Amino acid sequence: MFRGGRLTNAELNEAARHYDGPYRPYDIVKEVSVATGVVMLIAVILTILFSSPDLPPSTIASWSRSMPTDFVTTALSELDGTSETATYGPPYNHESGSVQQLAFIHLQQWLGVSHPVNAEYDLIIAPLRTIPDAPALQAAVTTYVHAPAKTQAAWTNAYSNALGKATEKQGGAVTVPAGSYGPVGPMMSSLLALAESGGLDGDLLTSKQFYQTDYTKPLLFLEDGSALDDRATYQHLQGTQWGMMNETGSYPGQVWLWLYTFWYQVQIGGLSTSPNVDAIVMAIMGVLSAAFILVPFLPGIRSIPRRIPVYKLIWRDWYSATGAPSKPPRTGDDAPALPSLRPTET
Amino acid sequence: MSSWTVRVREFGLRNLPPERLLPDSQPAYMASAIYLFGALTIGALVTIIASGTILALKGPAWWHVQSIGHFFNSIHLWSVELFFFFMVIHLWGKFWMAAWRGGRARVWMTGAVAFVIAIPTAFTGYVSQQNFDSQWIATQGKDGMNSLGVGSFFNVLNVGQMYSYHIFLFPVLVIGIVSLHILLVRRHGIVPPIPLADSVADAAAK
């Protein structure tokens, strides 16, 4: 039963089950084929005009050569356990520095350590142990490893303070004023030399098997330094630069992530600075994605197309040709059966 | 009792007879440019798969060292951009048509799921590039994954794992859900125009 004015959603829904009006010729295979050809042509033209970006990756070797003091500072933070990686938490270790939660939901913690990374051992001690024919260095490493934690901290703190007065020499060496650094000085200088030679890149990929695709350790190490960060800032890829949807150079990036990165710009309620910002944004996007999928069932949202009648523009030719529209939809028992799409059978 | 094969065949014929699966006519109201964007999205997906297949044939490092590889990588990139561009317009068009009417909710839902799944599909491609871009995206993206515990089994810093997801697992999901979407479109037909309220009121009064 139709009332005056707008149809209910149920009436609209029922009306859209049937169509017994005129048909027009249509070639679906031709349409998809032509569309594919057009898209391929556009892609080729864009390729010829703009190509695609491919900035070479940063390596630990290139980082240590161009920013030796930053490399040593980062390495020291891995050694003394103050780096982001050393304090991260699951899935890399049992710390809590980067552990996030949603109210009482601690998924990151609950799922535990699945990719163990011991920053001190995996990123510093183990690579130093691979350097051959260096008995003095190996003795220094042994001294450091077996020293009490308090002594280790005294050495690393002293060296950390000294790095503030460090000078970089041609060739990539870092010189710090004389001080009580124990074995830390030779350890850091040897690690720097190993990194500059390219050996540390390989060491951090070494595993029990010959083939390797897991870059967790070298990427975590790189991220703790400034090499990636500085390049990202220059390329407008930082979170505060809406970087999630940007690409290196002037290319369009993952523009479809605009709503993800939008939430990282929201300062209301301290969202963008919250220690749980990633978990909150992921949760928000999860809810919004579910809502997007469930639009047909969401009261209010599903009625927007009726209330903002863009459909009059989409079907303007149809409405003008049929007198808007020629007959009301029928519902109930007298509604016609779903006709075939072939006009001869309607 | 008929065999499983016969049942499947009869189910298919009942729901998607050949003239409905590959129609040679459509309702006369299908006369707007907005209807082209579904086909353009499919065309972009075909281009993505074709260029991606060529890249996969030569391995993940090829495009960095040979100009012909870079050419196909560029086609892959631009077809992805076009895919999302066309798909978003297609989705907006279907939203304003309220295209879920008349028992077509599953058509909308499968289209929306295709969009949602396309996002991690593209993401795994970006972190598989093996250049600075992938380094940055991986190191930043890991925090989002780890924050919900996803990082425990989906390690964005493992390029081998990401490459597997990108060239097989996610494409299977995307192609599967897009195929289902298309079959549902064919099964239910395109949604009729929304009746204009005034004319409905007039008709009801007669």
- The tens digit of pLDDT for each residue in B23-44 reads 999 999 998 999 999 999 999 9
A78 and A165 in a single domain? The answer is yes
Strand partners, B158: A214
Mean pLDDT of A180-201: 95
A239 and A225 in a single domain? The answer is no
Q: Which domains does chain B carry?
A: 30-195 (1.20.810.10)
Residue A222 lies in a domain: yes
Q: Above 50 in pLDDT, residue A262?
A: yes
- Substitution target in B96, B128, B130, B162 with the highest count of A β-carbons within 10 Å is B96
A95 and A206 in a single domain? The answer is yes
Q: State which residue of chain A sits closest to B110, comparing Cα positions.
A: A293
Residue A146 lies in a domain: yes
A185: containing domain: 60-230
Residue A345 lies in a domain: no
The per-residue pLDDT for B1 is 64
A37 and A166 in a single domain? The answer is no
Exposed/middle/buried for A78, CB within 10 Å: 0-12, 13-18, 19+? Answer: buried
> Could you give the CA distance from residue B190 to residue B34 in angstroms, rounded to a whole number?
12
- Count the neighbouring beta carbons within 10 Å of the beta carbon of residue B190: 20
Residue A316 lies in a domain: no
Mean pLDDT of chain A: 89
Q: State which residue of chain B sits closest to A288, comparing Cα positions.
A: B116
Return the residue matching tokens 């094969």.
Answer: B5
- The tens digit of pLDDT for each residue in B87-144 reads 999 999 999 999 999 999 999 999 999 999 999 999 999 999 999 999 999 999 999 9
Evaluate whether A106 touches A112 at the Cβ level (below 8 Å): no
A97 and A139 in a single domain? The answer is yes
Give the one of A25, A111, A219 whose C-beta lies nearest to B135's C-beta. A219
pTM: 0.91
Rounded to whole angstroms, what are the CA distances from B168 to A31, A186, B124, B163? Answer: 28, 48, 11, 8
- Substitution target in A6, A11, A19 with the highest count of B β-carbons within 10 Å is A19
A102 and A212 in a single domain? The answer is yes
Q: State which residue of chain A sits closest to B100, comparing Cα positions.
A: A296
The per-residue pLDDT for A321 is 87
Q: Which residues contact A162 (CB under 8 A, 6 or more apart)?
A: A176, A177, A179, A181
